[in-house]
A and B are shown apart, each in its own frame.
Chain A
């Protein structure tokens, strides 16, 4: 069964303290791995799509990487405005987007 697991569930960082969020996936024939950001009371906002192991994408303080079993979202020198829930989703041969439960990130000033 296709599955996406995110860890940790919650993470609290000090401003400037770099860290990584993990997304482990079990998906047959990965077609794409997605990262979205979700602010409280709002819909998810697209960040990155990764398609194959070894691929990396960057946007400001965020960098997403992909291996054959997991993806990492690295946050470098985070700021309070990076506080949000980060959702990972994967799609495989079944062409169904499978979502993780998210990591709730809080960055303290």
Chain B
């Protein structure tokens, strides 16, 4: 697609529920990133994929968070047993080049998660 697409744009759920957030990166971009951003904060790194594999998942806060990218394109961030502290904007980004740390990232519009 022309840009990074994220769905849903808004998700309201109850504490303890399971949530899936989807990201469709720019066609041909091999690298895909998930970030989390709270109000007034900069993006917080969660996980990075190069192709189908999670090359760096060091930012996932705990084992309730999991992400997949089975065919090297669309990715799904999965959150189990949601907690109120999980409420945030979840941002997906992609880049054309192999990860170097200095990649230009193209972000999606984000998925706003609210856990009641």
Contact = CB atoms under 8 A, between A and B. Distances in A.
B42 interface: yes
A74 B101 CA distance: 25
B110 A42 contact: yes
Contacts of B110: 41-43
Contact of B101 (A41, A43, A91, A102): A91
A41 B40 CA distance: 12
B107 A44 contact: yes
Given A87-B42, A97-B101, A41 B112 contact: yes
A80 to B, nearest CB: 22
Contact of B42 (A94, A95, A102): A102
Given A96-B45, A100-B42, A91 B102 contact: yes
B91 A43 contact: yes
B109 interface: yes
For the side of the interface on B, what is the size category?
A: 20 to 34
B90 to A, nearest CB: 10
Interface residues of A, number: 24
B1 to A, nearest CB: 14
20 contacts: A31-B101, A32-B101, A41-B112, A42-B110, A43-B92, A43-B93, A44-B105, A45-B107, A46-B105, A49-B102, A87-B43, A91-B101, A92-B101, A95-B100, A95-B101, A99-B44, A101-B40, A101-B41, A102-B40, A102-B42
A43 B42 contact: no
A89 B42 contact: yes
Interface of B: 4, 40-45, 91-93, 99-102, 104-110, 112
A91 B108 CA distance: 21
B25 to A, nearest CB: 12
A43 B92 CA distance: 8
A87 B37 CA distance: 12
Contacts of A101: 40-42
Nearest to B110: A43
